[in-house]
């Protein structure tokens, strides 16, 4: 047998496989974005945000920008969770400073107009971006693919955008769970297919963003967060047993434990409000923890940032850990603070 040179596994993959590393691998949610001048320059070249996501040369470039500048241990595909409703045939747009706007789906009839069959062909440009980044990413950084979780994507599809109280989507889910589950089933199936296609195109890890997991009471959380996530994880593990999955049920509070135990994710993203002592004692036994620096501390920088990073490493560094924020990088973040963070994270811990 000819033995080829085996590449040393990437730090992020080692941590997600359950290894404890001396310096934690790191990346940042929304690491490509408006805080970077080179992102704003590329963004200005595209007509709109969806076009940026669907132009592989530009999307691959902005995916790599933060990794080139700071040397993160992961590149995360540049796209958006709302590209899936777009691919299903819903109208989706991003207006400057106003957030996303969708033509809301209010009932079973509107649902019938969506078509899960064309998702992969409509998202071919995103898969091409994955292929390009996969070729460019090198031996240190891993490529993360992602999608929104069915519940969170459904909130945008039904509310028509961001929401404060989630009245419309909850109304539908509580009043007529049978027909709401048709929407969730469509999302489970198309999300599984879409993530599988990302893995085939070169994604080495996938993350499910469940930004609005924290607005549901336990019974609804079980039905609309845990069950759909279980089905996606199982579907992916069936086909790609070695590809780690990270779940991020933001603001799930005391339901984090059920989520991590019942979905069997490899990594669990923690929002900034999850107490580190609790997470280290309870959640870190079941999965690699990822997080959970307050994004405002990254914006503030200085000693407040340095202290918080030391504390997080002390709390989580003794078990499998991936350093990240508890939510996305804020557009107002000074780029030099991310440079400071990169330097703090390669320093060995002093006892
Ligand atoms: O993390 C990364 O760098 C990868 C790219 C990425 C984006 N959005 C790019 C983006 C990822 C992983 C997302 C996920 C996403 N998108 C989530 C889940 C995570 C979270 O933040 O809670 C959600 C809820 C969305 C939906 C979304 N996209 C909203 C509400 C907005 C508008 C608000 C805003 O920050 O502008 C977006 C737009 C968006 N997605 C931008 C970026 C860089 C800004 C658009 C621009 O540059 O004009």
- Distance (Å, rounded) from C-alpha 254 to C-alpha 238? 29
Q: Whose CA is nearest to atom 9 of ligand 1?
A: 80
- Distance (Å, rounded) from C-alpha 328 to C-alpha 3? 42
- Distance (Å, rounded) from C-alpha 256 to C-alpha 240? 25
Q: Which of the listed residues 70, 328, 331 should we mutate to test ligand 1's pocket, taking the one with most ligand atoms within 8 A of CB?
A: 328
Q: What ligand 1 atom has the least distance to the C-alpha of 66?
A: 3
**What is the pLDDT at residue 351?**
56
Tokens linked to 131: 């292929």
122 in Cβ contact with 84 (< 8 Å):
no
Q: How far is the CA of 29 from the centre of ligand 1 (A)?
A: 9
Q: Report which of 41, 5, 68 is spatially closest to residue 339, judged by C-alpha positions.
A: 68
- Distance (Å, rounded) from C-alpha 349 to C-alpha 333? 26
Q: How far is the CA of 30 from the centre of ligand 1 (A)?
A: 7
**What is the pLDDT at residue 154?**
98
Q: Whose CA is nearest to atom 34 of ligand 1?
A: 99
- The structural domains of the chain, ordered by start, are 11-346 (3.20.20.210)
Q: Coil, strand or helix: which one is 76?
A: strand
Q: What ligand 1 atom has the least distance to the C-alpha of 328?
A: 21
Phi, psi (rounded to 5 degrees) for 274: -70, 120
Residue 118, CB-side half-sphere exposure with 13 Å CA sphere? 10
Q: Whose CA is nearest to atom 24 of ligand 1?
A: 211
**205 within ligand 1 shell (Cβ under 6 A):** no
**What is the pLDDT at residue 349?**
77
199 in Cβ contact with 236 (< 8 Å):
yes
What are the angstrom distances between the C-alpha of 250 and each of 48, 118, 288?
Answer: 28, 30, 16
The model's pTM is 0.96
**What is the pLDDT at residue 1?**
45
Each of the 351 residues of the chain gets a pLDDT tens digit; together they read 454 455 569 999 999 999 999 999 999 999 999 999 999 999 999 989 999 999 999 999 999 999 999 999 999 999 999 999 999 999 999 987 889 999 999 877 889 999 999 999 999 999 999 999 999 999 999 999 999 999 999 999 999 999 999 999 999 999 999 999 999 999 999 999 999 999 999 999 999 999 999 999 999 999 999 999 999 999 999 999 999 999 999 999 999 999 999 999 999 999 999 999 999 999 999 999 999 999 999 999 999 999 999 999 999 999 999 999 999 999 999 999 999 999 999 988 765
Which residue, chain included where needed, has tokens 């320059």? Answer: 41
Q: Which residues are annotated as catalytic?
A: 30, 34, 43, 80, 156
Q: Whose CA is nearest to atom 7 of ligand 1?
A: 80
- Distance (Å, rounded) from C-alpha 293 to C-alpha 323? 8
226 in Cβ contact with 234 (< 8 Å):
no
Q: Which of the listed residues 27, 32, 33, 98 should we mutate to test ligand 1's pocket, taking the one with most ligand atoms within 8 A of CB?
A: 33
- Distance (Å, rounded) from C-alpha 31 to C-alpha 315? 24
**237 within ligand 1 shell (Cβ under 6 A):** no
**What is the pLDDT at residue 347?**
87
Q: Report which of 66, 47, 88 is spatially closest to residue 335, judged by C-alpha positions.
A: 66
**What is the pLDDT at residue 348?**
83
Q: How far is the CA of 208 from the centre of ligand 1 (A)?
A: 13
**30 within ligand 1 shell (Cβ under 6 A):** yes
Q: How far is the CA of 22 from the centre of ligand 1 (A)?
A: 31
Q: Coil, strand or helix: which one is 148?
A: strand
324 in Cβ contact with 290 (< 8 Å):
yes
What are the angstrom distances between the C-alpha of 257 and each of 23, 252, 254?
Answer: 26, 9, 7
Phi, psi (rounded to 5 degrees) for 189: -70, -45
**What is the pLDDT at residue 109?**
84
Q: Report which of 64, 65, 59, 67 is spatially closest to residue 25, judged by C-alpha positions.
A: 67
**What is the pLDDT at residue 46?**
92
Q: Report which of 56, 64, 53 is spatially closest to residue 27, judged by C-alpha positions.
A: 64
Number of Cβ within a 10 Å radius of residue 198: 26
What is the arrangement of strands in the sheet containing 288-293, beginning at the earlier edge strand?
74-76, 142-148, 205-210, 245-249, 267-269, 288-293, 321-325
293 in Cβ contact with 325 (< 8 Å):
yes
Tokens linked to 77: 């595909």
């Amino acid at each position: 047998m000819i033995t080829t040179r085996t590449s040393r596994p990437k730090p992020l993959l080692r941590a997600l496989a359950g290894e404890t590393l001396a310096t934690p691998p790191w990346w940042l949610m929304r690491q490509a974005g408006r805080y970077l001048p080179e992102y704003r320059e590329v963004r200005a070249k595209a007509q709109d945000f969806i076009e940026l996501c669907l132009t592989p040369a530009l999307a691959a470039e902005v995916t790599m920008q933060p990794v080139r500048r700071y040397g993160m241990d992961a590149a995360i595909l540049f796209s958006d969770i709302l590209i899936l409703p777009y691919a299903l045939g819903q109208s989706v747009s991003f207006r400057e400073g106003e957030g996303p706007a969708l033509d809301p789906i209010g009932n079973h009839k509107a649902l019938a107009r969506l078509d899960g069959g064309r998702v992969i062909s409509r998202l071919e440009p995103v898969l091409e971006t994955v292929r390009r980044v996969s070729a460019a990413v090198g031996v240190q950084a891993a490529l993360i693919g992602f999608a929104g979780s069915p519940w969170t994507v459904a909130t945008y599809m039904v509310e028509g955008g961001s929401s404060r109280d989630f009245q419309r989507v909850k109304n539908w889910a509580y009043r007529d769970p049978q027909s709401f589950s048709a929407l969730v089933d469509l999302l489970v199936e198309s999300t599984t297919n879409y993530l599988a296609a990302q893995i085939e195109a070169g994604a080495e890890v996938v993350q499910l963003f469940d930004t609005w997991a924290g607005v549901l009471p336990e019974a609804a959380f079980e039905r609309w967060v845990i069950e759909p996530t279980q089905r996606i994880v199982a579907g992916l593990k069936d086909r790609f047993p070695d590809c780690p999955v990270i779940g991020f049920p933001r603001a799930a509070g005391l339901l984090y434990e059920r989520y991590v135990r019942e979905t069997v994710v490899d990594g669990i993203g923690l929002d900034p409000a999850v107490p580190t002592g609790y997470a280290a004692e309870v959640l870190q036994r079941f999965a690699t923890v990822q997080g959970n620096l307050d994004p405002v501390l990254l914006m503030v920088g200085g000693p407040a940032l340095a202290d918080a990073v030391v504390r997080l490493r002390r709390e989580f560094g003794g078990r499998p850990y991936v350093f990240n924020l508890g939510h996305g990088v804020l557009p107002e973040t000074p780029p030099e603070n991310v440079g400071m963070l990169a330097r703090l994270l390669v320093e060995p811990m002093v006892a």
